[in-house]
Amino acid sequence: MILPIPPIPPVGKILSRPYEGGIPNFKEKNASIKRLSSLIHEVNPDYLLFHPVINSIQNVWLLASYCGAWLGGQNIFFLLAVIYDYIFLSPFDIVGFSLIIMLIILISILSFGAFFTLKQLKRKQSRYHKILLLKNTQQIAYYEHKRKQKPIFHLINYKDITASVRRNEGLVYEVLNLHVIDESAGDLIHSISFEDMRLNPYDQWSFIRTYMERPADELPLNSEFAQACPTDMSRSLFACADIAQASKDYYLKNPTHEFRLGDWARCCIISYLDLAEGNIYQSSANPALHPEVQRRLMWEGKNNPYNILPITAERQAAFANQNKAVKRKWYSGIAINATWFIGSVLYVMLVIA
């Protein structure tokens, strides 16, 4: 299930503006560098592109839709049994008819999340942000999402932004927001929320400032986690699902997309969740592909000074839908996942019967 478009985040605790004083040291250096490195889609002398952030709330919704689909499947078979009994075995009974109506409503409610998640796989329109930092031109590019409208491209000057930290009192976490504020009227012109619950927002702002304001050798990156992807990720859902799968903190990265037993076992159990997350990577509007960004690029693609693992030939093939190992892994995993999913529904219904 894809969550509704969130409201524009208000200005929270002001951190600083670009080039304002020194760049603060990292508060949680090791954890933050590991997390930031894994969030990087690409980094080079022209720009730094972040993957969309899939937070814990989205993961809970996806898991709930998965469980709802399982319970909905059980109720479909129960409904068929009730309808058969009502039509062929029993005389007309208002109680039986009411039970059929209630089961139809229950199935609709339980299947609501799964329906919209599968619909999203087909529509390929995500509300998630891919934030782009343009170093040479000192600009930030992103897409704004509005209900029932195509994403709106924005290109704003880095020096115009104000960074703030917003605290969510209910869940007790802080996130980084970037704003452009009309100083004369005090109105928000642009507002970007990173919504990353697993990352220290103060460290995230220091990281952004370091990339935009300092030489390449000062940007802290861990190449074990910072592994480049092709700029256009829209061609292969399976390759994007691999990236989503490897983004988990307890998973080793897999730059060659080779077959690994643990990854395949996860496909056999919960491929639905990884494919749904992969769809977010695949369908999030990418500002790096916009013509306004493309005409600002100057780097020739050689001797990247940043500590990021280049795109491997296997990864290039995976995103071009030409990596057979990736296809075998996901097709077989989906088949096994679907088999036990449907089989478990039938088994429970047979036990009940």
Give the residue with greater pLDDT, 186 vs 38: 38
- Predicted TM-score (pTM) of this structure: 0.85
Do 203 and 28 form a contact (C-beta atoms < 8 A)? yes
Confidence of residue 166 (pLDDT cuts 50, 70, 90): confident
Mean pLDDT (whole number) for 204-227: 94
pLDDT attached to residue 171: 58
Mean pLDDT (whole number) for 86-96: 68
pLDDT attached to residue 174: 81
Phi-psi region of 148 (alpha: psi -120 to 50; beta: other; left: phi over 0): left
Q: How far apart are CA 135 and CA 44, in angstroms?
A: 9
Task: Say how far residue 273 (Cα) sits from the centre of its chain.
Answer: 11
